[in-house]
Each structure stands twice: as structure tokens, then as C-alpha cells.
Structure 1
Amino acid sequence: MPPDALGVRVAAVILAAGRSSRMGAHKPALELDGKPLLRHVLDAADAVGFADVVVVAGACADQTRALCAGATARVAVNARFAEGLSTSLQTGLRALADDMDAAMIFLADMPDVGPALIRRMIAAFDPAARAIVVPTHEGRRGHPVLWARAFFPALLSRTTGDCGARRLIGEFARRVHEIEADDAGVLTDLDTPQDWARRRFSAGV
């Protein structure tokens, strides 16, 4: 069921602007199971039927734009990507239309988050109570995170560097609702060649 059918307009913001310096290669373009990492995230978003999908590009912006060909996504370029993840989050939120009720923030290098979990998170969302929806696995919080529009001003003004919004999740703990994921895909962290080798081995590649 698409988010609109639940009475809320939810956007997806996919952060794909980083330099991938620890990996030594442009992470969104790395292929897993026959398609780039970014396409795994885009395909999951397309399957859910978000009201809007924004991919934030920065380093290798032209390559990132090419990876989005054929997907129902817009590309917003973050000229300040070198200043950290927070600037990409801010770029993505500023690109959204004013009628969005919430935004789900994705990382481009997390290929194992599927439509079923995303739909569960959206179904649990309630801007009056469960206004921040976070996936967990075995007690650890992961990504993506769903934020009600009421928090956009804080996300825009109080996130800095590479810290993203994790500190704000703790600050607004009473508004947080956790969804337990069936597997560790919400914790995937593909930052280094070693991480990439482990993930490809687990997939039998």
C-alpha cells in the first residue's frame, strides 16, 4: 500500500553525495547482484510508491545522476558535500515540496533494506505521537529513519558535519517509535573495501 493511501505524503531522501574516500571507489556505483548499490535503494523506494524521491549527489555528481536514469527520482546536487553528511541531509530536505508530511532518510550504500520494512515503518508513523520511526535489529538502531515534517527545522539548523541526525533522535526520545527489522540489513555499513568484501561474500558473489 503506498503512503498516500494511508493519508500521509512521505518523501524519500537518498544521501549519495559522499566522496567514498575510505572505500577508494564511488560507492553508489559498486555492483551487487547485478546492479549498483544506489539502484537497490531506488528500486525499493519505487516499489513503495513515495510521493517524492530525491537523490542527493555531490562527489561524482554526473555519475550519480546517470545511475538514477529510469527511476522515479529527482537529483539535488550538494555543492557543500565535503563539509559532511549533514549538508546532504539539508540539501535533500530543502528540495522537498511543502506538502510533504514526512521524509524517510536513506543512505545510498544500504542495499538490504526492502519495501516490506519501509511499508511497516510508514504504517507505524503518527505525526502526533510516533513522529520519528527508527528500525532496529537486536537492540541496535539503524537506517533509514522516518521524520515528521515538524522536525525539519531542527534537521536543517542543528545538524553539523558527519553527525547527521542521530543526536536529535536522542533529544526527541519521547517521539521515537522503533520497528524491529527481521535481519541486519538496517545496520549495513559499507565504508571500506573490507566491508565490501564481507558483504559480497555473504551474497555468494
Structure 2
Amino acid sequence: MTISATPTSLADVLDRFQMEEVHDGAVLARYVEAHPQFALQLIDLSRLLATPEADDQEPLSALHKSRIDAAWIVHKAAGPELPKGSNPLDAFVGERAKALAAKLGVPRQVVTCLRERKVDPARTPRPILRTLSDALAIPEAHVIAAMRQPPLLARRSYKADGKPSAAAQVSFEQVLIDANVSDADRARLLADGD
């Protein structure tokens, strides 16, 4: 039984490379030539080993703190967050839901699907998002953020053969199809007004 002197696994090759006394170009070239299948990993490790360790104990300078604060403000402004438990789509009940359904020219079950966050905002036409935004008097980005929340579990009770599972969001078009909206009305509602 012969034992191979050269390592064959990535972990073994990287361990041996790391144990070398010097990590210069000649050593790297020798390892890449011997193990071309691990060339990228060896190069990454050599760069990592060549990078001097920074002393993380130093406090941040005022300039660094201000850059972090500015980046955080930009990050927070990029994606609106809704307060916990708050969903502006919950306002589409009663007369408001009826008015929105009439404005869109759709059955109320479409508005119910919107309220229950069953509609994927990425697959909803911009004019519909604008209409929702106008109806709620909030920015369109807040409507999209509300729609991205997980769908509500059905509040109705049914007997089922299997265990209930979380429903996936569907396209606005699929909601219209399920609501038996006519082809002409679907085409009108799905037209992108941009």
C-alpha cells in the first residue's frame, strides 16, 4: 500500500501552503503548478497572507464616524421600513375597499388579495402601484414595502386534507385571472403606463 506524498484535497493543499515559511511568488507558482485545480483558492490565500493585520483596537476617527453615519442615513432612506405591526394595506376594508375596486374596475376579491399581501409587488404594473399609493396617500415605496411583507394567513376556516402552509405571492395578472376579470379589463389593468 502506497501513501501519496502530495495532498489531494483543497484543505490539505491550503494547509500546506499556509505552513510554508515564505509565501512569495515562487512558492505560489510551485503550488499552482502542482495543483492547478486549486489555483484561485491558492491565490486568494496568498493575498490574504500578504495583507498586514490591522490593529482593530484603535478608536474610529471623527471622519470615519461621519462617513459611517452618512452611509447609514443613505441605507435607511433607500428602503423604507414599516413600523412593526403596521401595514397601510390594512386600510382597504369596507368603503375604502369598495371605492378602490370601483376605481380599478375589479371585483373586491382583488382588493382583498392586495390587502392580504398575496400579490408580488415586482409583478404588479406601476400604474396599479401608483393607484394604491394615491388611495392611501403614502409614497409608492411604502406601498411596495408593505406588499413585500409575508402574506397573511387566510382568516377564513376551511376543512382541508393536508396541513396548511404559507402561501406564495402571485402576480397581479394571476389574481385577475382567478377573479374572472375579462380579457379586455385585464389588458387595460396590465398595460404599463410608463
Fold equivalence (TM over 0.5): no
Q: In proportion to residue count, which structure has more strand? A: 1
Larger RCO (CA under 8 A, 6+ residues apart): 1
TM-score, with structure 1 as normaliser: 0.21
TM-score, with structure 2 as normaliser: 0.22
